[in-house]
Each structure stands twice: as structure tokens, then as C-alpha cells.
Amino acid sequence: MNTTAPDTALLSEALRLSEQDRPYAWATVVRAAPPTSAYVGAQAIVTAEGSLLGWVGGGCARDIVVQSCLGAIQDGNPRLIRISNDGQVSDPDTEHHAMPCASNGALELFIQPVRPAPALCIAGSTPAAMAAGAIAGVLGWRVSHGRPGVDGPPPDYVLVATQGADDAENLEWALSSPARKVLLIASRRKAEALADAMRRAGLGESRLSDLESPAGPDIQAGTPAEVALAAVAGLVRAHRRASGAAPSRDAHLDEPRAAEPAAARAAAAAYVNPVCLRPIDPASALHTVSIEGATHYFCCNGCKAKFDGDPMKYLEIARRMPGAGHGPEAA
């Protein structure tokens, strides 16, 4: 049995690739039947460009190992492969490959892909934007804040959480970036208006199909943190789909809640900002104020400041508006 310590050159290469956010795969020999030049525990690293560093057997196995590693890097799924001419497979999940040489030896290898965490750019400094960054950070995503495609590394995904502050400008930056998917925190009406603005700016339908709004599944979010949670759930879903992952048991989150009465959904969408007298979707509100047993929603800093300056005036207006007594505190 070979008891050689892990190859420091492989460890150094793995560290270098990880620091550069480059994907690669480890190949480890887990079974070896002679005649073969490999041994149990032998390892190699294969990069996304197909370069192999290490030793897991001679030319008879090398090309098969490289191709299996490239497949694992592409779909993100580890795999167990067997290279032999005996037709024996120890496990039904093992991929079998014929040994291209006349050798009667056999190898089994475990292939483990290592891919960089998704890069997420969040546009906006709203409470929902800050909360989304914190949640995505817990998941291990590489999070940056700023102008999508302009500030920070090229993003894999973008969350536009500006909520009234330069929405169109940030959305255009996001859709002009290399991001696979762009999620926008906004009401459906506002999202449609912004999409029309993007069309007028020259963006095609193929790129606009990468825009998702409302951001994430409907979880009946009522606070900025809950809106952020839904948005990050949408980002995870988009990433899993882009990676070719099978639908999860929680795919029902995409479906509308049948138990929720249509009247309740209409009431939620009918809330009117008591300052500017415009309808506002509570899920996309920039500010909320709970007072006298009800929650009030505001679309921008200006409306919130006016309300704070004369709350009694606007509370009286709010009592006459649709959605009066809105929010969980009013229940």
C-alpha cells in the first residue's frame, strides 16, 4: 500500500486555482486492480482547460479521466468511474468506461468538482439590498455592491434592489453585464414599465428573458428582510437551474398559494401611499412605519420624510385609503 503524503504540488495548484476563482476537479484512485501503474490514493487535478497535474495512471486512463473531470466541472456533480475491460461495476451509479489498452487492469476513481462560488452583484443600498447581501454571504456566495458590470468582478447574477433610486440606470447596467440572470425587486407594474424602457434603450427580448421580477418565489414577504430572503431564494433557484440541477422537492414554491383568497391578494396590491397617493406593493416598499396598530408603506425617502414631519395629517389620509389598517399589526 502506498502511504505517500498528499502531493504538495497538487495542494499548491488547488490553492492557486481557488484564489483565482477558477474551477477544477480532483481525481482520486479508490480501487486499482493490476496490472496498472496507478495505486489507491493516487490523485490528480484537472483544470477547466483540460490540463492534468498529478498521476492516476498512464495514457490508457488519462484521456478518460480528463473527460470525466471536465463533465463534472460542467455540471457540478461528483461521480465514480470505472475503467476496465471486465464489465464489472461495483455500484449501479458507477460510470463504466472500456479500457482502451489491451491491459487487463482496472481502475476506479472518484471525481470531485470544485467550482467557485457564484459572484453576485447587488445594486442599491436599501434595507432589502443589505439584507440580501448578508444572506447570500452566509450561503458562501461572492457578494459585491455597486453598479452591475461596472464595479467589482464580472457577476454571475445581479440583484437590482434600488427600489426607486436610479432603477432604470442600474437595470440597464445589469442587463448589459455578463450576468446569467438579473432579479429585480419591484412590483409587476413597475417591472413592466422598466422592461419597456430597456426595449427603448435597444435591449433585445432574448436578454430581457433573463430578467425576473418579482424577485424570487412568493413567500408573502412583508418586511425588507423577508423580501431579501425571497430574492436570494430566487437567485439560488436560478443558479441550480443554470447548473442543470434536477427540480427539488420544494418546486411547489413556484406555484401560487391556492389557499390564499384572490380578494386578499388584491387588497395587498391596493395599498395607497398616503403621501404621494400612489398605489404601492408592500413587498417593494422602501420604508415602512407601524403606528396605531397598522403598517404604512412608502415608496421613497421623500414620502417617508414628509410622513415623519406631520404624521397625524397623513394618518388621517391613510384611514380613507384602500388598504387602511394594512400589515400584520392590524390583524
Residue 236 scores a pLDDT above 90:
yes
**pLDDT single digits (tens) 269-323:** 457 888 877 777 777 777 888 887 788 888 777 788 888 888 888 888 877 665 4
Place of cell 384611514: 319
Interatomic CA distance for residues 51 and 71, integer angstroms? 14
Report pLDDT for 89.
Answer: 61
Residue 256 scores a pLDDT above 60:
no
Enter the C-alpha cell of residue 244.
Answer: 442543470
Beta bridge partners of 119: 142
- Which CB contacts under 8 angstroms, 24+ apart, belong to 186-190? 186/160, 186/213, 186/214, 186/215, 186/281, 186/284, 187/214, 187/269, 187/280, 187/281, 187/283, 187/284, 188/213, 188/214, 188/281, 189/281, 190/281, 190/284
**Residue 87, number of CB atoms within 10 A of its CB:** 8
**pLDDT single digits (tens) 66-104:** 999 999 998 888 999 998 877 666 667 788 888 777 667
Residue 64 scores a pLDDT above 80:
yes
**pLDDT single digits (tens) 204-218:** 888 999 999 989 999
Residue 210, SS3 per DSSP: coil
Instruction: Give the percent of the chain with pLDDT over 90.
Output: 39
Phi/psi zone of residue 211: left (φ > 0), alpha (ψ -120 to 50 degrees), beta? beta
H-type alpha helices, 27-113: 59-75
pTM for the model stands at 0.58
Mean pLDDT of the chain: 82
Side chain identity at 69, as an amino acid letter? C
Interatomic CA distance for residues 29 and 24, integer angstroms? 17
Of 121, 235, 221, nearest in space to 183 by CA: 235
CATH class, domain 119-245, is alpha beta
Q: What is the DSSP string of 21-42?
A: T--EEEEEEEEEESS-S--TT-
Of 34, 95, 87, 91, nearest in space to 64 by CA: 95
Interatomic CA distance for residues 127 and 115, integer angstroms? 30
Residue 1 scores a pLDDT above 50:
no
pLDDT-derived band at 127, boundaries 50, 70, 90:
very high
In this structure, are residues 298 and 285 in contact, taking their beta carbons and an 8 Å threshold?
A: yes
Rg (CA), the chain: 27
Report pLDDT for 90.
Answer: 60
> For residue 214, is the peptide bond before it cis, meaning its omega torsion is within 30 degrees of 0?
yes
Residue 126, SS3 per DSSP: coil
Of 325, 319, 245, nearest in space to 290 by CA: 325
Residue 62 scores a pLDDT above 50:
yes
Report pLDDT for 288.
Answer: 84
Residue ranges matching CATH 3.40.50.720 in the chain: 119-245
Residue 258 scores a pLDDT above 60:
no
